[in-house]
Amino acid sequence: MEKKVIFELKSLYRDNLRVTGYQFGTGEESVCIVGAIRGNEVQQLFSCSQLIKRLAELENRGCIKKGKSIMVIPAINSYSLNIAKRFWPTDNTDINRMFPGYNLGETTQRIAAGVFEKIKDYKYGIQFASFYMPGEFTPHVRMMETGYGNVKMAQKFGLPFVVVRKPRPYDTTTLNYNWQLWNSNAFSVYTHETDHIDKKSAELAVNAVLRFMENEKILKYHVVGGYLSEIIKEENLRPVRTAKPGIFDPKVKVEDEVSQGEVLAEILDPYDGSVREEITAPAEGTVFFAHNHPLTYNNTVVYKIIEKM
């Protein structure tokens, strides 16, 4: 294992921002795994730390195939991680909306450009990602329909689901999208948590990445278990929205099986505790996404359901 700084940004008032990578093996730039781009992505940081620990053990056992190189970057935005702020502290911009970056631009554009220059040529790019809304997912692999992706390859992670989505205009400046434009096979891996550590789903994600590298003949190591991944188009996930704002009182969680009409959550009046609204399941299926913040607004997606056909 070689630990090296792949990008450094000087600072006037605090220690320099250093983006550190952990390289395993030598030769072809095979796989790059990126963790926390945002400052609240503690689960993504933890998942990378566990992956680095496992890869160090496997390298010592000679399990990395000759001529293959693996890079793991636990965090890009350590400044925000230090103060638990999701976006860049000084101007509240999102580094994952700045790729491929611009080395003469704003601070976050320069960070994106400096990091992307070092990782854009890897054959496979994997990001431990988080969602823009607070909530929990059932573990899955997500990829965009850019014309460069490979859905069958995404199934090699062995996670329960592969979600395919059409890119929107704001997706064109994300790491995943730009990796694909530079001819990398890019995948985003989602686990249950973001702000808190969930060891069980982190281990599931780490094993999924190791299983993918085994299937792509980068590792000589067998990862037991795994799923026959079901492919889902994001537009086919059934959203469940609130009609009233208030305190969110969930009755079900991700991966629960629900029946049509079943009460999923109640919206409580924050002052007197009365029930403002009952959120019910629009169809029979499995809970794929569940809101996990104590408050919610009206017209907010609080659940996504995989309908049973």
pLDDT 10s digits, 103-118: 999 999 999 999 999 9
The stretch 10-29 carries a mean pLDDT of 93
Nearest to 250 by CA among 234, 262, 236, 238: 262
Instruction: Give the model's pLDDT for residue 133.
Output: 85
Q: How far apart are CA 232 and CA 126, in angstroms?
A: 19
CB 238, CB 223: distance < 8 Å: no
The gap from C-alpha 190 to its chain's centroid, in whole angstroms, comes to 4
- Is pLDDT at 26 greater than 80 in this prediction? yes
Q: The tokens 């793991």 sit on which residue?
A: 72
Q: Which domains, from first to last, does the chain contain? A: 2-233 (3.40.630.10), 237-307 (2.40.50.100)
Share of the chain above pLDDT 90, in %: 93
Instruction: Give the model's pLDDT for residue 147.
Output: 79
- pTM (two decimals): 0.94
- For the chain, give the mean pLDDT: 96
CB 98, CB 108: distance < 8 Å: yes
Instruction: Give the model's pLDDT for residue 145.
Output: 87
Q: What are phi and psi of 80, to 5 degrees?
A: -70, -35
Angle, vertex CA 130, rays to CA 256 and CA 250, nearest 5: 35
Q: How far apart are CA 249 and CA 271, in angstroms?
A: 14
User: How does pLDDT run across 56-106, given as a tens digit for each residue?
Assistant: 999 999 999 999 999 999 999 999 999 989 999 999 999 999 999 999 999
User: How does pLDDT run across 188-204, given as a tens digit for each residue?
Assistant: 999 999 999 999 999 99
